[in-house]
Amino acid sequence: MTVLGNLCLWLAFLVGVWGALAGFVGGVRGQPELAQSGRHAVFAMCAALLVAVFSLEWALFKHDFNVEYVAAYTSQNLPVFYTWSALYAGQKGSLLFWATVLSLFGSLAMVFTARRHRVYLPYVAAVVCTVAAFFISVMLFAHANPFQRLPYTPLDGSGLNPQLQNPGMVFHPPMLYLGYISITIPFAFAIAALLSKRLDVDWLVAIRKWTLVSWLFLSIGICLGMWWAYVELGWGGYWAWDPVENASLLPWLTMTAFLHSVMIQEKRGMLKKWNLALIIGSWLLSIFGTFITRSGVISSVHSFTQSNVGYFFLFFLIAAGTASFALYATRLPLLDAEAKLESMVSREASFLFNNLLLVGIAFSVLWGTLFPILSELVQGTKVTVGPPFFNQVNIPLGLALLGLTGIGPLIAWRRASLPNLRRQFAVPATVGAFTLLVLLVGGMRDFSALMAIGLGAFVLGTVVQEFARGAGARHRQYEEGYALALGRLLARNRRRYGGYIVHTGIVILFIAFAGMAFKTETEATLRPGESVSLKSPYGWTYTFTHLGISQYDALNRQVTAATVEVYRNGKKTGILTTEKRQHVDALGRPTFQPSTEVGIISDVREDLYGVLAGVVGGTEQAVFRFTINPLVWWVWYGGMIVALGGLIVMWPGGTPAVKRSQPGYAVRLVGERK
């Protein structure tokens, strides 16, 4: 099967090169046959790559340990679930996964792009083929071929890193990858618009859904990553500002900025240059993210196997960035704004500030991530910045952004009047101020947390007010019941009200992040029967009593489990079980380092998080770390609400055609009707 896989890789590479040439030349010269051949190349490449994926999966399931990749990431006793996901567990497989998914997305774009946007497709095909061919070339020419065979056949494989043997890890990488990869489609449309000089609002309409798709996948991928880090890594938190985490946040931030600023271009014909730059930037950041994850240029705890894959990516990043921005520069004269900013107190202005903040946050995260490299270049000594830097910079910026989340959607376009401001903000501002007062009286003194929760209440106030007003209007006008009115309101204005739901999720996330300001922690060495106490931020005293150690063998691991009884203010609330796992191969020999399985008792107020750090040899005396993490539960539910809102916004149908608050646009609308 590896012969077939190799063959398919070569085939896909050649077809990709052809598609890139045919698409570009066919598009520029206006030769329809050539352009069509370019589009078809995307399908052909997709088919070849799918066969290659199938071959690799075949080798994985057949335990063909003569294939180096199979031997490196699976073993006889690896559960089937994880054998399947070993496709993207390693570098080589994930390159194949990238190229395949890209060609799949490209094919979908070829099929589902509306007829009136078809002029862009030859260029889109060319860009997709170029990027996919690059990824295939890395596999073929940078010693990263997943079908590489070994000179001998090991009896068993090395198995999968135990930290990856977690359901969250099966879905987290592909979700993140789907997000990274799908940014290529809007980017391809942006390049197509630049090349074809059709730079009116049309190309934006063509990619609106695609940008949401990648934004949604990125959001889900990031949330799953947080969840995995929290339940699997055992350090008691979900976000460590690690370079790899930062790399996934960067395109998310710029995509979020784009999703907002694009509304200004649709409504007012402004920000065209900015929007194009955001899309190109987001795509470059997605490649940069893959580069960071895969090259290990930045010293983090994840240094990656030495390979020259990093150089390929660096070269591609520089070449693609230079080419894109050079093209962009030649088209700048075509991108002049059609309107001017009329007032600082307007929706345009608040969106502009929102964009500046999002890009500012992205820039500071990028800066902090690259700081070790930059400081070494400039000063000769490596200086690193860690979580304190990112928190110090991003908490104020994040809070300002949270405030704008409440203001932006409600303030009038063009120029807001005083009565408009009073009508929109009187109630939410009161809600926010009242919440702040209650917290202050309740004894909360952490400034950032107070601001996060106060501003969060203000934003929630605006959202509730919007839903209530909208549903109330429907109730009066169509005499619908309130529930029906609310449902129809949402269904008929998905973009607007779905957006409010996303905002609700973001507010919940901010409040949950604020909760981490109050986490408490203790370490203790306990014999069976002994206990340790920890005060929770709500004023309760938790007592953790070590009951004892048990040892047993499971499918592919030896487990040492500690059972801990938990009391709140003297009343029993539950049992925590935390484990040390030593993974073994089919013959019972240990593989990998021992890993820790965290015990968590979670409710809406706080998580009790217990880690078995070690057992004193031969006894039942054990070392524990207990953490109380307030409001973590809300991170997961906030994330789900964000995803739900995103789904509502992108659900097909129901989105009204582009309307502008500008005379003279009606003429153009006629041409835009389906």
Partner 1 sequence: MNAGTKFAIGAVLIVGSVGYLMASGVKSTGQYFLTPSELSQKIAVDPSFYDVGMKVGARVVPGSVTRDVATRTLTFQVTDGGARYPVVYRGVPPDTFNDSVEVVVEGRLRKDGVIQATNVLAKCGSRYEAVPKA
DSSP state of 661: S
What is the secondary structure of 163-194 as a DSSP string?
Answer: GG-SHHHHHHHHHHHHHHHHTHHHHHHHHHHH
Q: How far is the CB of 521 from partner 1 (least distance, A)?
A: 11
Nearest by Cα to 54 from 75, 81, 84? 84
- The Cα–Cα gap between 282 and 254 comes to 6
Name the 3-class secondary structure at 556.
coil
H helical segments located in 183-299: 184-196, 202-228, 243-268, 272-295
Identify the CA nearest to 657 among candidates 641, 668, 645, 643.
668
* Residue with smaller CB distance to partner 1, 342 or 603: 342
Q: How many CB atoms lie within 10 A of CB 531?
A: 15
CB of 385 vs partner 1, minimal distance in Å: 5
Note whether 457 and 403 are within 8 A (CB).
Answer: no
Smallest separation (angstroms) from partner 1 to the CB of 36? 40
Q: How far is the CB of 38 from partner 1 (least distance, A)?
A: 35
For residue 589, count other CB atoms closer than 10 A to its CB. Answer: 8
**Which residue's CB is nearer to partner 1, number 159 or number 646?**
159
Nearer to partner 1, 155 or 616 (CB): 616
Residue closer to partner 1, measured from CB, 389 or 651: 389
Q: CA-to-CA distance for 132 and 126, rounded, in angstroms?
A: 10
- Which of 78, 213 has the CB closer to partner 1? 78
Specify the residue, 303 or 417, whose C-beta has the smaller distance to partner 1.
303
* Residue 401 or 631 with smaller CB distance to partner 1: 401
- Judged by beta carbon, residue 442 or residue 617, the one nearer partner 1 is 617
Provide the minimum distance between the beta carbon of 369 and partner 1 in the complex, in angstroms, as a whole number.
Answer: 12
CA 508 centroid distance within chain: 17
Q: Quote the least distance from Cβ 60 to partner 1, whole Å.
A: 15
Of 380 and 671, the one with the shorter C-beta distance to partner 1 is 380
Q: How far is the CB of 273 from partner 1 (least distance, A)?
A: 15
CB of 513 to partner 1, least distance (A): 17
Which is nearer to partner 1, 376 or 553 (by Cβ)? 376
Tell me, what amino acid is at 193?
A
Consecutive H or E run containing 612:
strand 606-615
Distances (CA, A) of 409 to 59, 238, 266, 469, 638: 52, 30, 15, 14, 20
At how many degrees (to 10) do helices 387-407 and 447-478 cross? 30
- C-beta of 316: minimal distance to partner 1 in Å? 21
CB of residue 614 to partner 1, shortest distance in Å: 5
CB under 8 Å to 491, separation ≥6 — which residues? 654
Q: Kindly list the distances between the CA atom of residue 394 and the CA atoms of 59, 226, 381, 388, 448, in Å, as whole numbers in the listed order.
A: 46, 18, 25, 10, 11
The residue (of 375 and 543) whose beta carbon lies closer to partner 1 is 375
Q: Where are the alpha helices (DSSP H) in 443-580?
A: 447-478, 482-492, 494-515
Phi, psi angles (nearest 5°) of residue 547: -90, -30
**Residue 303 CB-density burial (10 A; 0-12 exposed, 13-18 middle, 19+ buried):** exposed
- Least CB distance from residue 74 to partner 1, whole Å? 10
Nearer to partner 1, 42 or 249 (CB): 249
Closer CB to partner 1, 27 or 368, in the complex: 368
Other beta carbons within 10 angstroms of residue 464's beta carbon come to 15
Minimum separation from the CB atom of position 386 to partner 1 (A): 7
Minimal distance in Å, beta carbon 117 to partner 1?
Answer: 33
Does residue 100 contact residue 46 with C-beta atoms inside 8 Å?
yes
**Minimal distance, residue 476 CB to partner 1, in Å:** 36
**Rounded alpha-carbon distances, angstroms, from residue 14 to 20, 27, 102, 159:** 10, 20, 16, 34
Comparing CB distances to partner 1, the nearer of 252 and 390 is: 390
In angstroms and rounded to an integer, the radius of gyration of the C-alpha atoms of the chain is 27
Rounded distance between C-alpha atoms, residue 25 and residue 479, angstroms = 59
Distance CA 584, CA 594 (A): 10
Q: List residues bridging with 524 in a β-sheet.
A: 624
β partners of residue 580: 560, 596
Dihedral through CA 16, CA 58, CA 220, CA 607, nearest 10? Answer: -150
- Token reading at 263: 């509304």
| Cβ proximity to partner 1, 301 vs 657, nearer residue | 301
> Nearest approach, Cβ of 71 to partner 1 (angstroms)?
10
